[in-house]
């Protein structure tokens, strides 16, 4: 008789191997998380007293109930681990803003997650996308020197290849350099600042005099002229963006400090149709060919999708289309007629500047009330469609409070106590006079 091997033993071994392998994987993941967490320190209100003056800290403020904070956690731990492995001087921490209220107040935390760098006496707020690359770039830029020295032509070319826009101080120590360094301390959150000597620059860069501040972008360069450009900080704020580029909501927010208008071609979010490509190409051509005429007043770019602009104009914007946005007062301009050529687009820009095209929107009281209503509508509409009972309850609660308050103010009357101890309601003056006349007649 042939003998059989017990199959259960083999199966049990296989199950044991699978279970062991699964446990080992879980242990490995726990170890990796614990290892990454070792580079992120939990901070509380004592941090302000224990922190050394020369320390630089990248801090995330969170709330335990915040979903976005939890989504950022693994990214934050990877950032802590990577900065440590690179030998960065930036320490990484996080703080529960609901318990460490003193620290949150010091940084004026308003929403979650909030990301800051504390370096010396400066606190820098990160307003970019919550991605590892974006936050790492922010940490490396702010955590390093405010003004980085380019001591060779190779370093200069390397910096040029890495940055779309870069500001360079050229020359020896001067009052201009002191002003440039002060501006760099404040605006390092937005862009990079460098310094070098004349012999490091390419030979085709012509400077009228030294010292000088130069911005390199769009394959060319501009030199700061105080008589023409005014304040150095304002000039840097105006010139810290490329002449034409893809613009998102984060960039639009940071453009608000520049006092420039923004001409946008609004196109599809994923794949552009032929008409959208024409709109985008036309803005790019005008930006390049008419930079000397309109570059001081306009940024040029394109935006994929219309969610941001729909909220800005409080309505539906068609795609593709053109719009000019004034970020300083929340105003916007739309072409009065169809733009079918370069000439039509130039007429549109001219009309915006000379006031012949009426501005829409704005930030006056009426517009703010309208925006409040629009935001409530946008928020509640999907809620009513998905959970109508919960939405009705959510809306009814403030209405009940408002109705109660109005009733107490308008209809509830205070009372007096007469000699017999009975309550006498106080009437309105007109009713009191009417009651007096009635009493006289009865007498």
Q: What is the DSSP letter of 322?
A: E
The active-site residue out of 23, 69, 273, 392 is: 69
Tokens representing residue 173 in the block? 């120590």
Q: How many CA atoms lie within 13 A of 25 on its CB side?
A: 6
**Average pLDDT over every residue of 252-270:** 88
Of 60, 96, 103, 100, which is closest to residue 78 (Cα–Cα)? 60
Distance of CA 28 to the CA centre of its chain: 36
Report d(CA 219, CA 165) in Å as an integer: 10
In the chain, where the domains are located: 40-143, 145-240, 365-410, 413-443
Report d(CA 183, CA 165) in Å as an integer: 16
Torsion, Cα 185 191 195 200, to 10 degrees, reads 180
Report d(CA 423, CA 429) in Å as an integer: 18
Sign of CA dihedral 202, 206, 210, 212: negative
Residues 74-118 pLDDT 10s: 999 999 999 999 889 999 999 999 999 999 999 999 889 999 999
> Does 409 score more than 80 pLDDT?
no
Share of the chain above pLDDT 70, in %: 80
CATH number for the segment(s) 145-240? 3.40.30.10
Can you give the pLDDT at residue 380?
64
Residues 306-319 pLDDT 10s: 888 988 888 889 99
**Average pLDDT over every residue of 367-392:** 71
Q: Which residues contact 240 (CB under 8 A, 6 or more apart)?
A: 165, 167, 187, 190, 191, 215, 258
Can you give the pLDDT at residue 1?
40
Residue appearing with tokens 């919960």: 390
CATH superfamily of 40-143: Glutaredoxin (3.40.30.10)
Q: Which residues contact 131 (CB under 8 A, 6 or more apart)?
A: 75
Whether the CB-CB separation of 224 and 168 falls below 8 Å is answered with no
Specify the range with the lowest mean pLDDT, choosing from 56-65, 157-166, 395-404. Answer: 395-404
> Does 16 score more than 70 pLDDT?
no
Residues 126-173 pLDDT 10s: 988 889 999 999 999 999 999 999 999 999 999 999 999 999 999 999
> Does 432 score more than 80 pLDDT?
no
Report d(CA 320, CA 438) in Å as an integer: 74
Can you give the pLDDT at residue 10?
41
Rg of the chain, C-alpha, whole Å = 32
Question: Does 40-143 match 145-240 in CATH topology?
Answer: yes
Can you give the pLDDT at residue 259?
81
Q: Residues 114, 115, 116, CA angle at the centre, nearest 5°?
A: 125
Can you give the pLDDT at residue 36?
45
User: DSSP for 302-313?
Assistant: EEESSHHHHHHH
Cα distances (Å, whole numbers) of residue 243 to 137, 147, 256, 298, 300: 22, 24, 16, 9, 6
Whether the CB-CB separation of 64 and 98 falls below 8 Å is answered with yes
Can you give the pLDDT at residue 395?
63
What is the model's pTM? 0.72
Can you give the pLDDT at residue 435?
47
Tokens representing residue 194 in the block? 């460098």
Can you give the pLDDT at residue 5?
41
Q: Which residues contact 416 (CB under 8 A, 6 or more apart)?
A: 423, 424, 426
> Does 427 score more than 50 pLDDT?
no
Instruction: Mark whether 66 is an active-site residue.
Output: yes
Cis peptide bond upstream of 353, omega within 30: no
Whether the CB-CB separation of 241 and 258 falls below 8 Å is answered with yes
Can you give the pLDDT at residue 37?
56
Q: Mean pLDDT across the chain, nearest whole number?
A: 83
**Average pLDDT over every residue of 417-424:** 54
> Does 338 score more than 50 pLDDT?
yes
Report d(CA 225, CA 238) in Å as an integer: 14
- Among 12-26, 368-382, 409-423, top mean pLDDT goes to 368-382
Specify the range with the lowest mean pLDDT, choosing from 20-34, 225-239, 289-303. Answer: 20-34
Residue appearing with tokens 């795609």: 319
Whether the CB-CB separation of 291 and 297 falls below 8 Å is answered with no
Residues 282-309 pLDDT 10s: 999 999 999 989 988 999 999 999 888 9
The active-site residue out of 23, 66, 409, 410 is: 66
Whether the CB-CB separation of 349 and 263 falls below 8 Å is answered with yes
> Does 331 score more than 70 pLDDT?
yes
Can you give the pLDDT at residue 265?
96
Tokens representing residue 428 in the block? 């309105």
Tell me the pLDDT band of 417, cut-offs 50, 70 and 90. Answer: low
């Amino acid at each position: 008789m042939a003998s059989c091997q017990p199959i259960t033993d083999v199966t049990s071994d296989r199950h044991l191997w699978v279970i062991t392998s699964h446990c080992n994987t879980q242990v490995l993941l726990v170890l990796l998380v614990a290892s990454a967490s070792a580079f992120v320190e939990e901070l509380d209100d004592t941090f302000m007293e224990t922190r050394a003056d020369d320390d630089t800290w990248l801090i995330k403020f969170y709330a335990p109930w915040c979903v976005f904070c939890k989504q950022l956690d693994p990214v934050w731990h990877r950032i802590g681990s990577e900065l440590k492995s690179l030998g960065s001087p930036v320490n990484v921490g996080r703080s529960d803003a609901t318990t460490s209220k003193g620290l949150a107040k010091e940084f004026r935390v308003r929403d979650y997650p909030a990301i800051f760098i504390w370096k010396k006496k400066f606190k820098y707020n990160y307003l970019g996308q919550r991605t590892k690359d974006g936050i790492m770039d922010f940490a490396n830029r702010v955590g390093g020197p405010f003004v980085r020295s380019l001591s060779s032509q190779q370093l200069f070319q390397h910096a040029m290849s890495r940055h779309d826009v870069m500001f360079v101080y050229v020359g020896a120590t001067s009052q201009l350099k002191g002003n440039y360094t002060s501006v760099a301390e404040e605006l390092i959150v937005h862009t990079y600042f460098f310094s070098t000597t004349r012999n490091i620059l390419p030979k085709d860069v012509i400077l009228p005099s030294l010292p000088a501040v130069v911005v390199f972008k769009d394959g060319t360069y501009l030199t700061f002229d105080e008589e023409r450009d005014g304040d150095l900080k304002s000039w840097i704020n105006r010139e810290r963006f490329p002449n034409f580029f893809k613009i998102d909501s984060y960039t639009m927010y940071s453009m608000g400090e520049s006092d420039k208008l923004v001409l946008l071609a609004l196109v599809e979010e994923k794949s552009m149709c032929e008409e959208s490509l024409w709109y985008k190409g036309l803005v790019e051509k005008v930006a390049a060919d008419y930079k000397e005429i309109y570059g001081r007043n306009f940024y040029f770019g394109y935006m994929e999708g219309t969610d941001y602009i729909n909220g800005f104009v409080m309505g539906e914007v068609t795609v593709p289309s053109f719009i000019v946005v004034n970020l300083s007062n929340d105003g916007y301009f739309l072409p009065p007629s169809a733009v079918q050529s370069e000439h039509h687009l130039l007429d549109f820009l001219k009309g915006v500047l000379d006031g012949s095209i009426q501005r829409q929107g704005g930030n006056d009281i009426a517009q703010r009330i309208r925006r409040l209503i629009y935001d409530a509508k946008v928020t509640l509409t999907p809620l009513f469609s998905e959970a109508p009972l919960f939405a009705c309850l959510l809306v009814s609660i403030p209405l009940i409070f408002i109705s109660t308050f109005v009733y107490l103010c308008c209809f509830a009357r205070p009372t007096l106590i007469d000699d017999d101890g009975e309550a006498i309601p106080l009437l309105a003056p007109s009713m009191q006079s009417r009651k007096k006349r009635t009493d006289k007649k009865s007498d």
